[in-house]
């Protein structure tokens, strides 16, 4: 049996040990990285007839990597953003490999560094108005089990700004109910935990739902489940959003005008509404679990409502009629040297 190349050995350690244990990246990130290298191995076999256990770092030159990324776009019909995602995975692994085997992986690292990221159109972040959030939360029919689940889930996502994966991972023991609300312990990216206080109305809805499901005494039970699994998946959350956005659009054709509203749009919406309410960026940064304030500045963009309100306040403060007239009189005063 042919021994695996140093490339596969190092890649295995990188994906199975380094990323989850040393870096603490999310399972979704690891899945994305695995997909990148699975595609790379597939491409090399189809184009060069080289099986996976014969791939070496020396093969990963500029020409092969460039052809692979072109294949991603042309043959697999992926967008520029997906191509950039694959390139990012290659770049991250090349840095890891070079630091552990300089002689073998330096050429690979240099080749990756020569490939530019492709410019792609930035999609506008979908942010819901408060009215749209209300409509969305009222869309599920809570007379049915799934409707009750969906209503509580949408409410909790708005109250916490949680990612879809964080909602799927949430367990009964992660919620500490208080007299005036609840504290939700969320496990985020990089295995970092953050504590989010939610208001009483939301806490009561979550508590009643947990009791309804009969899992209040099971701290390891997942709060939200699907029809077939005890733990809900991100794809299930995506389908829930797709379903209720569609229903809301039919009922209110003048609302939900953006192209799509994925689950992450609720996180954007929460961040935007916090800004509109005057919450500082540093507080929002901790609320969302961001490592850098720069991420928060990009993520929680101001809505037009915020801009309009701030401009109105500024105009009212600095352009009051009496202030303007007083300033005009002051401006018209004669210089002293011209006075008789």
At 299, the pLDDT band (50, 70, 90 cuts) reads: low
How much of the chain, in percent, has pLDDT values that exceed 90?
Answer: 42
Q: What is the pTM assigned to this prediction?
A: 0.62
Residues whose CB is less than 8 angstroms from the CB of residue 285 and which lie 6 or more positions away in sequence, other chains included:
292, 293, 295, 296
Residues 282/293, Cβ–Cβ less than 8 Å:
yes
Please report how many Cα atoms fall inside a 13 Å half-sphere around the Cα of residue 332, on the Cβ side: 6
Poorest-confidence range of 54-68, 89-103, 117-131, 268-282?
117-131
Per the CB < 8 A criterion, the answer to whether 162 and 156 are in contact is yes
Most confident region among 67-76, 126-135, 318-327 by mean pLDDT:
67-76
Question: CA-to-CA distance for 149 and 231, rounded, in angstroms?
Answer: 13
Q: Domains in the chain, please, with CATH?
A: 6-113 (1.10.150), 130-262 (1.10.443.10)
| Distance of alpha carbon 10 from alpha carbon 45, whole angstroms | 19
Which of 31-40, 103-112, 263-272, 310-319 is least confident?
310-319
pLDDT tens digit string along 74-88?
Answer: 988 888 888 888 999
Assess whether pLDDT exceeds 60 at residue 309: no
- Top-confidence residue, 312 or 321: 312
Mean pLDDT of 58-74: 93
Residue 82 contacts residue 72 (beta carbons within 8 Å):
yes
256 vs 338: which has the higher pLDDT: 256
Partnered with residue 195 across adjacent β-strands are 185
Q: What is the mean pLDDT of residues 107-128?
A: 81
Residue for token digits 């507080």?
A: 283
pLDDT at residue 334, as a whole number: 47
Region 160-182: mean pLDDT is 91
Give the Cβ contact number of residue 213 at 10 Å: 18
Side-chain-side CA neighbours of residue 210 (13 Å): 24
The predicted structure's pLDDT at residue 314: 59
Q: In 10 A of CB 263, how many CB atoms?
A: 21
Q: Is the per-residue pLDDT at 336 higher than 50?
A: no
Q: Is the pLDDT of residue 176 over 70?
A: yes
Task: Name the 3-class secondary structure at 336.
Answer: helix
Quote the tokens at residue 1.
């049996």
Could you report the per-residue pLDDT of 187-206, keeping only the tens digit for each?
A: 887 778 889 888 899 999 99
CA distance readout (Å), 284 to 50, 57, 275, 280, 287: 50, 43, 8, 6, 5
The pLDDT value recorded for residue 306 is 54
Distance in angstroms (rounded) separating the CA atoms of residues 130 and 134: 6
More confident residue, 243 or 308: 243
Q: pLDDT higher for 224 or 303?
A: 224
Distance between CA atoms of 157 and 58, rounded to whole angstroms?
47
Q: What is the pLDDT of residue 126?
A: 80
Token reading at 326: 């007083």
| Residue count (the chain) | 340
Q: What is the reported pLDDT for 3?
A: 44
From CA 207, how far away is CA 61, in angstroms rounded? Answer: 57
Q: Residue 192's pLDDT is what? A: 80
Compute the distance between CA of residue 308 and CA of residue 315 in angstroms, rounded to an integer: 10
- In this prediction, residue 12 has a pLDDT band, given cuts at 50, 70 and 90, of very high
Contact, 97 vs 67, CB < 8 A? no
The tokens describing 90, both together, are 């290659």
């Amino acid at each position: 049996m042919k021994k695996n190349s140093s490339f596969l050995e190092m890649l295995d350690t990188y994906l199975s040990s380094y990323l989850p244990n040393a870096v603490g990246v999310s399972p979704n990130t690891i899945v994305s990285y695995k997909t990148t290298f699975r595609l790379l191995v597939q491409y090399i076999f189809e184009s060069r007839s080289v099986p996976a256990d014969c791939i070496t770092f020396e093969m990963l030159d500029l020409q092969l990597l460039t052809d692979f990324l072109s294949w991603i776009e042309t043959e697999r019909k992926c967008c520029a953003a997906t191509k950039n995602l694959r390139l990012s995975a290659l770049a991250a692994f090349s840095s890891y490999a070079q630091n552990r085997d300089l002689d073998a992986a330096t050429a690979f690292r240099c080749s990756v560094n020569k490939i530019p990221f492709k410019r792609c159109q930035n999609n506008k972040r979908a942010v819901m108005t408060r009215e749209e959030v209300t409509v969305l939360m009222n869309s599920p029919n809570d007379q049915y089990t799934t409707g009750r689940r969906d209503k509580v889930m949408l409410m909790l996502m708005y109250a916490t700004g949680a990612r879809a994966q964080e909602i799927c991972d949430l367990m009964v023991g992660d919620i500490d109910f208080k007299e005036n609300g609840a504290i939700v312990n969320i496990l985020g990216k990089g295995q970092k935990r953050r504590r989010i206080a939610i208001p009483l109305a939301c806490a009561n809805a979550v508590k009643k739902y947990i009791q309804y499901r009969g899992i209040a005494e099971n701290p390891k039970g997942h709060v939200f489940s699907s029809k077939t699994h005890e733990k809900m998946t991100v794809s299930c959350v995506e389908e829930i959003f797709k379903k209720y956005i569609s229903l809301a659009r039919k009922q209110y054709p003048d609302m939900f005008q953006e192209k799509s509203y994925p689950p992450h749009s609720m996180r954007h919406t929460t961040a935007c509404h916090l800004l509109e309410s005057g919450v500082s960026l540093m507080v929002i940064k901790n609320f969302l679990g961001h490592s850098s304030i720069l991420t928060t500045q990009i993520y929680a963009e101001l809505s037009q409502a915020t801009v309009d309100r701030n401009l109105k306040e500024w105009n009212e403060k600095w352009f009051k009629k009496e202030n303007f007239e007083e300033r005009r009189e002051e401006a018209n005063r004669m210089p002293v040297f011209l006075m008789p």
